[in-house]
Structure 1
């Protein structure tokens, strides 16, 4: 499978590190408006995951990584990218700018065969979460939206809690700061997001509830979500409060997740009763690490908590999608 990455931010760079090591996948080109020298530098050194294990260099204007050569492009208009000439099977759209069928579709117009977003797309693109409803993607699906890191964490946990019966759910994702926040106070349409990210705990609105209602229409109007950004560079804790339809217990809930993590959700959900902190899941490949010692039940209200690496865990699911699309291509 011949792959191109559009947008070399946090997710694009981490995907490149991982994809170049997978047999049968060839990253042909990356596209970003930053200079090639800057791109190579950020690919080589990372403040969260450390320096790249493989050699990274800029040679004759091209990116050389792990002994492979990747063409560097600097085209802001995806419709003008040379995907047809480069025979691109799959574009990983990682800019966060082209999230509807019209925007992402420009990659198809440019000659790519398929597009995989790096976040939740617009409602005109089917939302498919790996491990939940990936079977809905057929060989004829040209644009795939795999959800974001928070959607991938919460979807599986809500689905499993549905085996008991959910009346309503409130979810607060305690999340590391991101590039869409300010380092120092400044103007922003969301005034709190404009405050210094490393100096405050900052509530930030998020459209996660809308995404989850698309996946669980039976819960429409009964899901509330918010994120609270905290002064760490990586890691997140999903804090669920469920109002259940039936009586339950800590033992029953933990049993459900422990069994799921060992069987049908192996590799996607992990379960532990160790006293974790967010730094313990850095580099963890799971979408959610349920911390059973934090599970609590009061009446029919349930507290459930799960850690996840918002970058590495998420790119693990994107890699799963790439492998699945490659299998579809071969069939």
Structure 2
């Protein structure tokens, strides 16, 4: 078998323990496991004494199965089955464990859903009455439907169709050799997972959810009062790490702890491919601007936020120049404005934040 891997590592593997004479476990929360199948755990066409574990059941398959992140691509005729051991399978007593119970636990997932589930057994508990049982029709939804047998065994004819309960009653006690899936001639399908007796064997690589780490960076983090006003150097804000495409809400918290709200509805932006946005040449205008720390906060639609601050400090006082004074004007005209690039990015007529009404010491321009 030509088993190729793409970005699959040994870290994905969970070993498959195959022990001769192993005990069958009935599906249930206590026994359920998620098992990642890797290339080294799948044999090609079986050789004598190599039935245990995952292998190709046909001596000459339509094409070798190929393992990738998407799963195991099978080209019919091909059957990928999991053998329990080399010595005749696992005994099923037909009372505490029945064929119907095992089928109820069985399912698979594939890209085109064109495979047959299959269960090879020795019908009378020895090695003389082999047959492979499978649904009459392909597809995961048909696992619980009518079934057929590949060979005639006592109570079961290979030219008849049975319900799962009828097969279960006819089998009674039996030896379970293996389970797996079949791709008929002309079928090409990619197997993603197989579930049986409570355990799920994953052939597709695990899907790793992206990790988002919201970050807001204001640059510089300290700026002179004159530079934060129009005509000054201004500052930039870069936001990353939110969910791309999410709606982000922008707010600015002034030194008094009050929040600037948008004057024109332009306080939201759709996060770009990096989970944010970038704006430059931002400045404050209005009598409400004062020396102190301003916090730039960005919040996503789930209420998760990140923030960074910029400290506005007084300009150096030249020798002999009058010292600026703080005026108690009670003005609420402080707003945040941005350059043309910022306005275009934010999709608003202007990036304006009207200061909430407040009274107290303020710096006047």
> In which range does the TM-score fall when normalised by the shorter chain?
under 0.3
Select the structure of larger CA radius of gyration: 2
Q: Could you tell me the TM-score, scaled by structure 2's length?
A: 0.20
Higher helix proportion, which one? 1
Q: Could you tell me the TM-score, scaled by structure 1's length?
A: 0.22
Higher strand proportion, which one? 2
